[in-house]
Structure 1
Amino acid sequence: MQKLNLTGSAKHQTDDQMKGLSAVFVDGDEVFVDNGAIHAKSRLEVGIKFVSSLEEVPNPRHIEGIWITLKRQANGLGYTGAMPFELWIDSDSKLGYKKLSDHVNQMDKAVRGNVDLSRLSKEAVVKAGQFLQTVRADLWENATDAFRAAFSQAED
């Protein structure tokens, strides 16, 4: 089973607000956590040269991501923030495109506890929601109502 490294603590010194932050990627049928994304060093990004426009990427694969944050709730640690971001990667040419400012702004909103998955495909929201419910059921049980509702709406 994949370990979800959302513990509310970090192994390195960082701003306290960033300690409960992680990234969940939906790459086709694969859903996974990669905390390297916080520093633009996810397994998808390493070795990729990011260019200034999507048109420069020959065969872009669209990857949807969600910044996820944890916060202590009345019943314990739970999911609170969820904001989307996107990457386009061509692994063969080692080129990619992302809007860095959007990644940072969405990360900030997630850290503040905002939840808005409207920019994601319904399929990505369903896959990510199922993943988050099963990987750490305790975090899902302690999630805010807004967090659970955002993922549940996609299943309707």
Structure 2
Amino acid sequence: MQKLNLTGTSKHQTDDQMKGLSAIFVDGDEVFVDNGAIHAKSRLEVGVKFVPSLDEVPNPRRVEGVWVTLKRQESGLGYTGAMPFELWIDSANKLGYKKLSDHVNQMDKAVRGQVDLSRMSSEAIQKVGQYVQTIRPDLWENATDAFRSAFSS
């Protein structure tokens, strides 16, 4: 079982804002957590030159991600926020495109406990939903209603 390495916190202070944050990626059939994404150093991003326009990436593949946060509820630590983001990666050419401001804004919304998966494909929502339910069932049981309903369609 993969550990999320999240602690959850009810107060957001400068040093603690990211403690309850993680990134879950859907890259084809693979679903995985990569907390390096918080600092733009996920395994998908390392070694890739990001260019200012998607038009500059010859053979891009879309990688969907979702920022997920934890917060302590009355019943225990559980999932709270979920906001999507995307990367376009051309592994062969080591080029990629991402809108950094969007990544940061979506991260901030997730930290604040917002849930909105409307920009994700239904396939990715299903994959992430299954993943978060099985990786740590206790976090799923203690998740907010908004979080669970977003992944239980």
TM range (shorter): over 0.9
Instruction: Report the CA distance between 1:18 and its aligned residue.
Output: 1.1
User: Structure 1 CA distance, aligned partners of 2:4 and 2:18?
Assistant: 16
In the alignment, which residue of structure 1 is the partner of 2:113?
Answer: 113
1:123 alignment counterpart: 123
Correspondences of 1:4-153 after superposition (within 5 Å): 4-8=4-8, 15-153=15-153
Q: Which amino acid aligns with 2:57?
A: V
Query: Could you report, residue by residue, the CA deviation over 1:121-144 in whole angstroms, capped at 9, with x for unpaired residues?
Result: 000000000000000000000000
Give the counterpart letter for 1:118 in structure 2. S
- In structure 1, stretches of 5+ residues that fail to align are none
Question: Normalising by structure 1, what TM-score?
Answer: 0.93
**Which 4+ residue blocks in structure 1 deviate beyond 4 angstroms?**
none
CA RMSD in angstroms, aligned pairs only: 1.1
State the distance in 1 between where 2:78 and 2:15 align. Answer: 19
Counterpart Cα distance in 1 of 2:111 and 2:101 = 15
Q: Secondary structure at the match of 2:152?
A: helix
Q: TM-score, normalised by structure 2?
A: 0.95
1:32-90 Cα deviation digits (max 9, x unpaired): 00000000000000000000000100100100000000000001100000000000000
Whole-Å Cα distance in 2 between the matches of residues 68 and 3 of structure 1? 14
Query: How many equivalent pairs are there?
Result: 149
CA distance in 2, matches of 1:5, 1:48: 25
In 1, distance between residues paired with 2:29 and 2:15?
33
Work out the CA distance in 2 between the residues paired with 1:131 and 1:4: 12
Same amino acid, percent of matched pairs = 83
Distance (Å, rounded) in 1 between the aligned partners of 2:4 and 2:112: 21
Code of the residue aligned with 2:100 in structure 1: it is L
